[in-house]
Amino acid sequence: MQPTLSLYNTLTRRKAPFQPLNAPFVGVYLCGPTVYSEAHVGNARGPVVFDVLTRYLRHLGYTVRYVRNITDVGHLEGDADEGEDKISKRARAQQLEPMQVAEQYTNLYQNHMEALGCLPPDITPRASGHIIEQIEMIQQIINNGFGYETNGSVYFDVPAYNAAGRGYGKLSNRVVEELLAGSRDNLAGQDEKRSPLDFALWKKADERHLMRWASPWSEGFPGWHLECSAMSRKYLGAEFDIHGGGLDLMFPHHECEIAQSQACNHPTNEAQVWMHNNMITVNGQKMSKALGNFITMSQLFEGTNTTLSQAYSPMTVRFFLLQAHYRSTIDITDDALQAARKGYRKLMNGLRLLDKLVLPQGTEQTADTAAADAELRKLSADCYTGINDDLNTARTIASLFNLLRKLNAYAANLATLAQVSTEALTEATTTFRTLVQDVLGLQDEPRANVEDLLGLTLDFYKIAKQSANQAREEGNMEEATKHYGEIDRIRAALKDQGIVVKDTKAGVDWAYSEE
């Protein structure tokens, strides 16, 4: 029996068995990108982690509704309540409509997530398509005494919220008095606010803002924090199961989301479990444009960033992101990516191995397979231990390698399969295939007509080998040397493509290079 899935909840700061609010249904919301530029490798970690989470929840039998939004309005420069909208600024610079910019980078983002093996969310709402819902939510907040209008803009009243005992800061574990002490000097230029902690629910548009909508307060646009509260509530209800995002979003974005949901009708903490993936560093440093180590997804896939020595395939990147626990930092380096490529190829070779694990004809099954069955079943069960422990994909991958070593041992001497029962072997191969492909989402990356090309090349290899052996038997070493040279050239050419030729007793075969 598989252990219960436990998840770490940022809100409670403890790990606990996951219990859906309305089993078998599970609602999951992940904060998506602001589509004013191309996504960088750090933007990919959350989608990959939550893709594994939703895949695993479905594997466990839950019916999941997975929502990942697109922010196409309201996210101002500096993540604060002043400055120009990031998308409007890019549109102005490129002399485009803001929605052209948003559409361009939305499509690019979704293409990159698909390449990384992320299944499409069930719903991908856009902030600009939910203005009515956001206006309705603001009105509820005002009616409940937690919002106020000033000069056409509407702000959330954090002091009033805290006076009502709602606890602003409980997600990020921040104390309001300390926040106030550190923010009073920042109130300059924001004299519309009653408190420096207050945040925008609606902003009156000035002449710089190209995107604007009519509202009861002004022609303007919604605040950045508001959109996720409104859209998650629309598609998942006032309270749902899991809300996720990067650790950098915990404060103020997610903190403000909880405050908004608490201040509405049917007050809740929005989600019962809040999950945050950690950040990515590059060669030990924080990734930033100023340091010149900012890596976009296209640069990673094409090898065009000076930080990288070569291109890395999407599945290599996915494996790289999953070989660390989601709550730990992960450092991206050339060495780490090359190691990830080896690990990914090792698992792909494992998948190719599974169908070959067949007891040779004429070999009798051992009467007592209990010891071998117990060992194989323990290796299989261990593969689930990690992922059930707060989605620890790093531990699961390590366990899969342990299981693969045992399966490789059987493959090296198929006669030893007589020592294990068919049932235990089937359980082991099913576990390996299911976790690698269906849960971790690691797939064999397509190569154009790879089987046909490899088959043709291996035919040439066989002919050259037969000719070399025949020439050697006839004592014609000059002819043999010529054919051996051809064999070496074929081997070298295939190795350059990540393929190694394997001479076995059964004939010539191939495998992915793990170097």
Which amino acid is it at 33?
P
Half-sphere exposure of residue 370, counting CA atoms within 13 Å on the CB side? Answer: 1
Contact partners, residue 378, CB within 8 Å, separation at least 6:
none
Are 176 and 197 within 8 A, CB to CB? yes
CA dihedral 363, 368, 372, 377 (to 10 degrees): 110
Summary count for the chain: helices (H), strands (E) = 16, 16
Are 424 and 372 within 8 A, CB to CB? yes
Query: Tokens 């120009």 sit at which residue?
Result: 84
Both structure tokens of 84: 């120009």
Half-sphere exposure of residue 151, counting CA atoms within 13 Å on the CB side? Answer: 10
Paired with 213 in beta bridges are 220
Between CA 454 and CA 431 the distance in angstroms is 29
Residue 289 annotated in ligand binding: yes
The backbone torsions φ and ψ at residue 220, rounded to the nearest 5 degrees and listed phi first, read -165, -145
Q: How far is CA 511 from the centre of its chain?
A: 28
Cα first-last separation, the chain: 37
Are 69 and 227 within 8 A, CB to CB? yes
Between CA 67 and CA 30 the distance in angstroms is 6
Are 85 and 209 within 8 A, CB to CB? yes
Contact partners, residue 33, CB within 8 Å, separation at least 6:
39, 43, 70, 71, 105, 109
Are 441 and 433 within 8 A, CB to CB? no
Between CA 255 and CA 388 the distance in angstroms is 27
Residue 253 annotated in ligand binding: yes
Between CA 191 and CA 196 the distance in angstroms is 9
Are 428 and 343 within 8 A, CB to CB? no
Which amino acid is it at 114?
E
Q: How many other CB atoms are found less than 10 A from the CB of residue 476?
A: 13
Distances (CA, A) of 119 to 85, 102, 153, 485: 30, 21, 39, 46
Binding residues: 31, 228, 253, 257, 289
Binding-site residues for Zn(2+) sit at 31, 228, 253, 257
Enumerate the known binding-site residues for ATP: 289
